[in-house]
Structure 1
């Protein structure tokens, strides 16, 4: 190192030492030489939690402080007794969430006739002798008070008491029971879930009238405090599946859960897969049937959709009415749905691979017709297929988003006008229109896999357009490997039963008659016996 470099190094060192000196004296924030505090220590300290006291005025002020700028909260301060000279009380409720008749007739009216003097705990006396509602709770927990008031419960504060009465007075408008639009059937029950979790649970309880049906509530969402209910048959569910579900639910840490899909995306296996690993339905009969097979259902307050786990891949091809129609027709329909799924994802890719790379496989007359039709088309077959499939998805999405009558008419007219005009203008070939229509129509037979069909169709088409049959084969092989690895709460989706027994396949791609389905899915429940192997059915066979 020469003298010039030594002088530079010395000057730099002196400058650094000088800056450190200045930092110690002036406390410059940008040059602090200490490590940052751990993450948990950097959080701002919360002020000490306030508590209810024996002063009625202080307690009212505390509730008002908790619900500041919440105008629908009503405060009714009065003194009990017919002459207004009794115990000081304050009744608090959220307007629009309560039943006014219950409040007037079974809470306020008895309080107005309360005797002037009584011995003992005032709240205990009011809860046991005066208030006439079916659910009353004495509490001092402010979080419980906030959640209760926000969900239609009412508060009763009394002078000299550091606790309050939390009374169930909730009543709010809910949608009536009707058949779900997305799960309509030709034969079977017409009931469907609504947005009230208690009403939904009652629909399932009506179908399974046994104490073996368990329903356990919990709340999730830091700001929404959404009620969830885990429902299962205690004697049928596998403990490992139930424990894993509770573990994943307890790990949820999010501001709000506004719909079942929030829970689905937070707890599902294979989060990046195009295939679902959790089931969903809006029908009580479907939930009851799945519970009887050992599955677990999760109800979310405010959503008519119920989540079920574990979920097998074959359930994508099973319809709600499969168990209400003839097993001959049901078996044929299931096979048709499975074939439609593979046609929907492979037909465009197969056509492009044959036309672009393997046209020698086509009969000569067909090959000549396709060549003549495609002669004036300005796009290659792959780009032509991409454009038409995107146009089909645009028309389908338009039909879904528009009002019912307008959407259907727009989809039909749009498809006819755009298709015929494109063929006449030599923008696309008629054969490609047919291929796109086959792929689109077959995808409608498996609505549960609509999103998977869209992505897989484009992925296979891209591989086929670049590598022909080789690319298509590689894509299908990768898809099969992925499907074989998929799990749902520890149960393999594609091959849940490793033992190849005929009894295990009686409700998969086909549906056997009820008198033959004597067992439940073995991978989901330990109690495999569905019906006794008696001789009572022998004469009916």
Structure 2
């Protein structure tokens, strides 16, 4: 059932290796001299004016001569002032501590923090400072305290712009890794929910986390994901999109074999089906594997609304995905090569609209679709109100002006508008839609309807051949055996979805049948 991905990784070759300058481990260690330790960190962070070293000493306990080291903007100043500096400087400090083991006494009896530990490794100290922790260095000790004090600004939790819903949770992931993990933990309050942390990026040292539900996720998928992550050698990871492209199966395919989602409820549902999620610090998009083709047409709202209405919406998404790629090609094939298939009144109307148009239909379609993609990209990148105005003005004015100037015919404008509307319904596959739409148009330009059919066959053969972490990409989309098709092109009622998809889950039981509970007594 399980087959490992066939992607060949070449990132470990010498010609592809990332330079290690600036990332070599520190060789020096702390000494018993406070001044030498302060100089050590100033040399490590040379020319970095955000590094702060604050020296202070208790007036009653002369041995309590210390210094805190942190990076400005990365810490919560209230935590540092109230939980570290003020307790150490208080007048009655000598009554509570033993100066013979002063560092440990300060950690256990004075410093107010639930995240404090003794550290001796200079590399871990540097990493802690960069992460937003505060170092507490004491005179006479060659070790220090690492105190949790992270407090940088972060975006609040809000509904994702890319996946709004009418009914359902309004929460969305943020750029904070720990906040995102807490959103998942709130939805799956079970000790079987596991988190595996790792750092990626030779220079950025970006924190990532593999998340899965023990007992549901298949070990082969988890192992394959870890192996692919281990083979990534890159200087920086700034978003989950870096990893998504590096670990995907069929790297030259326009279809994504790794899912990316911005909603906690969606990722939680994937985890409960046995998938594995990857969180990346600094990215609001969480990756899930394996990812199947039918997931492109599923929305979280399908599971919150009545299943009949949800099925209608899901079928609309599937229908528009087909029409957005085939409408221009079929129109071109009919008016160019197969005019006998059109009703005579319609053929006469199309022919009359083409009078005086200098360009052939194929070139007109390519030009108008290209202009529509430009307007779509402009509307996406510009501010909301301005982008909407550009879309409206561009669509109405340019389209009407092109018809009146006899640059293109009116049917071409209509076909372009229908194609654009159906393309925007499925934003998850907009990239592959544009690629195959162009592919179909080229086929229709040379061979008519036969060229379109040949291109469709090639596309489906390609989709049937690719896999996502060993799972066929088109799994569950071509069969409805037992429970495999209950949540593919349609969604079965909740009382009938008693089993999980068996291809990527160890435990098949989702729920005990509740069908009788809904019947009238």
* TM-score relative to the length of structure 2: 0.92
Q: 1:235 aligns with which of 206, 211, 215?
A: 215
> Which residues of 2 match residues 13-32 of structure 1 at below 5 A?
none
> Where does residue 4 of structure 2 map in the other structure?
none
CA 1:492–1:540 in structure 2 vs 1: closer, same or farther (change >3 Å)?
farther
> Where does residue 316 of structure 1 map in the other structure?
296
Structure ranking higher on relative contact order (CA contacts 8 Å, 6+ apart): 2
The answer to whether the 8 A contact 1:497-1:523 is kept is no
How much does 1:225 deviate?
Answer: 1.2
> Which residues of 2 match residues 222-261 of structure 1 at below 5 A?
222-261=202-241
Rounded to whole Å, the distance in 2 between the matches of 1:95 and 1:74 is 6
Q: 2:52 aligns with which of 48, 55, 74?
A: 74
Rounded to whole Å, the distance in 1 between the matches of 2:327 and 2:165 is 29
Alignment of 1:524 onto 2:501: no
> Where does residue 274 of structure 1 map in the other structure?
254
The answer to whether the 8 A contact 1:277-1:487 is kept is yes
> Where does residue 162 of structure 1 map in the other structure?
142
> Which residues of 2 match residues 170-185 of structure 1 at below 5 A?
170-185=150-165
User: Partner of 2:197: helix, strand, or coil?
Assistant: strand
> Where does residue 5 of structure 1 map in the other structure?
none
The answer to whether the 8 A contact 1:86-1:115 is kept is no
User: Partner of 1:537: helix, strand, or coil?
Assistant: helix
> Where does residue 3 of structure 2 map in the other structure?
none
> Where does residue 344 of structure 1 map in the other structure?
324
The answer to whether the 8 A contact 1:76-1:92 is kept is yes
How much does 1:86 deviate?
Answer: 2.0
| 1:313-354 deviation per Cα after TM superposition (whole angstroms, max 9, x unaligned) | 000001120011111111111111111011001111111112
Rounded to whole Å, the distance in 2 between the matches of 1:321 and 1:499 is 24
The answer to whether the 8 A contact 2:257-2:292 is kept is yes
> Which residues of 2 match residues 306-455 of structure 1 at below 5 A?
306-455=286-435
User: Partner of 1:232: helix, strand, or coil?
Assistant: strand
Rounded to whole Å, the distance in 1 between the matches of 2:21 and 2:472 is 46
> Where does residue 99 of structure 1 map in the other structure?
76
Q: 1:115 aligns with which of 94, 98, 107?
A: 94
> Which residues of 2 match residues 181-192 of structure 1 at below 5 A?
181-192=161-172
> Where does residue 87 of structure 1 map in the other structure?
64
Rounded to whole Å, the distance in 1 between the matches of 2:520 and 2:32 is 74
> Where does residue 6 of structure 2 map in the other structure?
none
Rounded to whole Å, the distance in 2 between the matches of 1:328 and 1:77 is 68
> Where does residue 503 of structure 1 map in the other structure?
483
Rounded to whole Å, the distance in 1 between the matches of 2:206 and 2:36 is 30
> Where does residue 11 of structure 2 map in the other structure?
none
CA 1:101–1:421 in structure 2 vs 1: closer, same or farther (change >3 Å)?
same
> Where does residue 59 of structure 1 map in the other structure?
37
The answer to whether the 8 A contact 2:172-2:262 is kept is yes
| 1:469-501 deviation per Cα after TM superposition (whole angstroms, max 9, x unaligned) | 222122111100110012111111102589751
The answer to whether the 8 A contact 2:199-2:208 is kept is yes
How much does 1:48 deviate?
Answer: 7.8
The answer to whether the 8 A contact 1:497-1:522 is kept is no
| 1:508-532 deviation per Cα after TM superposition (whole angstroms, max 9, x unaligned) | 1111110010011111102111001
Alignment of 1:457 onto 2:437: yes
How much does 1:123 deviate?
Answer: 2.8
User: Partner of 1:518: helix, strand, or coil?
Assistant: coil
> Where does residue 3 of structure 1 map in the other structure?
none
The answer to whether the 8 A contact 2:26-2:122 is kept is no
| 1:409-429 deviation per Cα after TM superposition (whole angstroms, max 9, x unaligned) | 110121111111111111100
The answer to whether the 8 A contact 1:78-1:84 is kept is no
The answer to whether the 8 A contact 1:485-1:492 is kept is yes
User: Partner of 2:153: helix, strand, or coil?
Assistant: coil
The answer to whether the 8 A contact 2:20-2:202 is kept is no
How much does 1:82 deviate?
Answer: 3.3
The answer to whether the 8 A contact 1:345-1:456 is kept is yes
CA 1:44–1:336 in structure 2 vs 1: closer, same or farther (change >3 Å)?
closer
> Where does residue 211 of structure 1 map in the other structure?
191
The answer to whether the 8 A contact 2:477-2:485 is kept is no
> Where does residue 132 of structure 1 map in the other structure?
112
The answer to whether the 8 A contact 1:147-1:225 is kept is no
Could you say which structure has the larger radius of gyration? 1
User: Partner of 2:365: helix, strand, or coil?
Assistant: helix
CA 1:497–1:442 in structure 2 vs 1: closer, same or farther (change >3 Å)?
closer
> Which residues of 2 match residues 479-490 of structure 1 at below 5 A?
479-490=459-470
How much does 1:126 deviate?
Answer: 2.3
| Matched residue count | 502
Stretch of structure 1 that moved more, 426-435 or 70-79: 70-79
Rounded to whole Å, the distance in 2 between the matches of 1:539 and 1:480 is 42
Rounded to whole Å, the distance in 2 between the matches of 1:48 and 1:376 is 75
